Structure 1
C-alpha cells in the first residue's frame, strides 16, 4: 500500500542522485504515483519529479 502524501509533507530520499536529502512535496499526482518536490541544493532549490516508491515520509519529531 502506498503512503498518502500531501503538499507540504517532508520526504526523505534514501537512494539515487538525491540520496540522503529531504525535500518538500509541492504537488501530488495520485494517478501516476508521482510527487513534485522542492529539494534544497547548494544554497538554492531544485525541482524534482519522483515516484512514490523512491521516497519515505520523514516522521522525525519537530525540535
Structure 2
C-alpha cells in the first residue's frame, strides 16, 4: 500500500509487531517515511504509536 491510501481518521488493523491484532485510528500520515501515527485503545488505556504503512491494513 501507499501512504496516499491512508488519511487521518481512517481505522486500520495492525497486522505486525507489538500491537498485532489491534485496531487504531490514524492521527497523521508521513509519506516521506512511509509511516502512520496511530492511537490504539487497549482497555481504558490509549497508546500513541508510529507504524510503517506495511504493518497495517484498512479495517
Select the structure that is richer in helix.
2
* 1:26 aligns to 2:27 (yes or no): yes
C-alpha RMSD of the superposition: 1.2
Query: Which ranges in structure 1 are unaligned for 5 or more consecutive residues?
Result: 59-63
Alignment of 1:1-63 (within 5 A): 1-2=1-2, 4-58=5-59
What TM-score do the two structures reach when normalised by structure 1?
A: 0.83
Alpha-carbon deviation of 1:42? 2.9
Question: TM-score, structure 2 length as denominator?
Answer: 0.88
Aligned residues: 58
